[in-house]
């Protein structure tokens, strides 16, 4: 069975090329964004997306050739293939930003040149510190506690003797 994002039987080369533009925009894709990308890349269009509407062939091809489902399959495949690597790189980048912020905060004071940039960078880093992430960090950094042994158990008596 061919991959769902492969060219379908009966799908013209032109339609498939439009699908590839749409598919490669990533999870926040839309027909309007795809059409805008097409116009900028191939027609030299320099305008914005406001008031821009894809022609009917984009809508017909999208519906008739299941672009949404095929692009979602592409996203899932890429997430499975590259997701953990991207997550590791992302965490490393945030870590490097936090380390740079730490160095900067020790030498800057409010009102100094660079202070507002430091504050903006700290806000960016803090966006990644969701309550779940903070709890996970706290849980990992808790010292291991000995397991409680019920009173009167043999294990408990062995320790006392």
Q: What is the DSSP string of 121-137?
A: HHHHHHTT--HHHHHHH
Q: What is the DSSP letter of 81?
A: H
C-alpha distances in angstroms, 104 versus 91, 95, 122, 127?
A: 20, 14, 11, 19
The pLDDT value given to residue 83: 80
- Rounded to 5°, the CA angle 38-44-46 comes to 95
Location of structure tokens 């309550």:
131
Question: pLDDT (tens digit, 0 to 9) for every residue of the chain, 161 residues total?
Answer: 689 999 999 999 999 999 999 999 998 999 999 999 999 999 989 888 788 999 999 999 999 999 999 999 999 998 888 888 887 887 888 888 889 888 988 898 898 898 999 888 888 878 877 777 777 777 777 776 665 666 555 554 444 44
Output the pTM of the full model: 0.57
- Yes or no: say if 156 and 149 are a contact pair by the CB < 8 Å rule: yes
Nearest 10 degrees: Cα torsion 136, 138, 139, 144: 160
Of 64, 27, 26, 25, the C-alpha closest to 35 is 25
């Amino acid at each position: 069975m061919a991959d769902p994002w492969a060219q379908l039987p009966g799908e013209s080369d032109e339609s498939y090329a439009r699908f590839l533009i749409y598919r490669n925009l990533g999870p926040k894709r839309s027909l309007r964004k795809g059409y805008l990308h097409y116009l900028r890349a191939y027609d030299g269009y320099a305008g914005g997306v406001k008031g821009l509407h894809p022609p009917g062939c984009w809508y017909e091809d999208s519906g008739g050739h299941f672009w949404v489902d095929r692009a979602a399959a592409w996203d899932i495949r890429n997430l499975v293939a590259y997701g953990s690597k991207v997550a590791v790189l992302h965490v490393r980048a945030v870590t490097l930003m936090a380390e740079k912020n730490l160095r900067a905060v020790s030498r800057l004071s409010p009102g100094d040149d660079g202070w507002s940039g430091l504050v903006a960078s700290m806000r960016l880093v803090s966006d990644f510190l969701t309550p779940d992430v903070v709890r996970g960090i706290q849980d990992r950094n808790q010292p291991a506690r000995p397991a409680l042994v019920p009173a009167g158990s043999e294990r408990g008596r062995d320790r006392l003797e």
